[in-house]
Structure 1
């Protein structure tokens, strides 16, 4: 087996073990020694790829954010944003529910989500990702509402992203009905778009 392939397999084995352990023990108790034991590796073998547990959390965080971000273009387009409010609400609710499902299905997903919020060395993964998505959403909003200043569209995009994300986090923290949370969150975000549309007149 070529060394590069072995390296890739070891890298993925470490991440799989870390994600499974996160689901079992949470962020605080997770340690590189536990990951080594679960993966069947020595500490030096693990440290070749990840110097500490925070490096593991960063990589898992990037992967979760990438999975979540891949969903956005499926639901949110310039056509949807320029359309009727009920259609926008339906798209936003669908995005929230699918983001929740993807997070729930990922091993250790809820703990990775919490690490992205609570662990200082991991927070920038979430912040940078949201900034990138906000810029993309502002571009779509500019297509739908070309007369609105870019700064306002950037702010609207960023607030919308964080409100949807907060809805996903809420579902992991409190036993609420996902459809109802998605419906209310989507209605709150979509309610701002008619203001942007009014500026087009």
Structure 2
């Protein structure tokens, strides 16, 4: 056997392993969304993936390990999403447009990955996921504070922090309703979230946005 063939075999095995892991994580996401984390089982996840439980155990020792790996990947992707959604706003941008753009990006992520909500808000998720959620929440509040700070120059730090918490709380409360609906009804709930945030922020931001 040539040296090239010797090197290609481990690469092929690694690629097959990565595909299998992706398959198992996708199946876990489906099961967690359908039954919730607590009721999910490795047998159900293996069945959803179309593999034997033994194959699953070659990669993950239990459902907690699956949830943690899935959560880590989603948190990383979510960080990229809020990096794009919470960028500084041009002064000429209308408040409606600024809020609409940010909300749409967050909604797109959560509707594409509904398991993110199921894992981050489940009652019995692994401690590591709960910690990741708390860190993500704190980081999001910090990013919103930074954005609001430039739009509320006369407000004190405590006021900006409170406003950031309210904005994130409104979004999270509405998100559950958004994910529970489809089509036109989902779009209507998304618009409700935007309207609530606009009405809340409009008197606080004043004329800081929408003027070139």
TM-score, length basis structure 1? 0.71
> In 1, distance between residues paired with 2:39 and 2:166?
33
Partner of 2:189 in structure 1?
A: 178
**What does residue 43 of structure 2 align with?**
33
Matching of residue 114 in structure 1 with residue 118 in structure 2: yes
Q: Which one of 145, 155, 164 corresponds to residue 138 of structure 1? A: 145
Distance 1:163 1:69 in 2: 19
The equivalent of 1:51 in structure 2 is 61
Deviation string, structure 1 residues 70-127 (Cα, Å, up to 9, x no partner): 33344433335xx47x823332233223322332233xx1x44133112342433322
Question: Which residues of structure 1 form unaligned runs of 5+?
Answer: none
Residue of 8, 13, 19 corresponding to 2:23: 13
Q: Does 1:102 align with 2:109?
A: yes
**Alignment length (residue pairs):** 191
Deviations 1:160-198 (A, max 9, x none): 223222222221246562343233232244246338x7x
Alpha-carbon shift at residue 31 of structure 1 (Å): 1.1
The secondary structure found in structure 2 opposite 1:135 is: helix
Segments of 5+ residues of structure 2 without an aligned counterpart are 1-8
Distance (Å, rounded) in 2 between the aligned partners of 1:62 and 1:155? 28
**Equivalent position to 2:86, from 76, 84, 89:** 76
Give the direction of change, closer, same or farther, for the CA distance of 1:63–1:185 in structure 2 (3 Å limit). Answer: farther
CA distance in 1, matches of 2:204, 2:81: 21
Of 70, 89, 95, which aligns to 1:88? 95
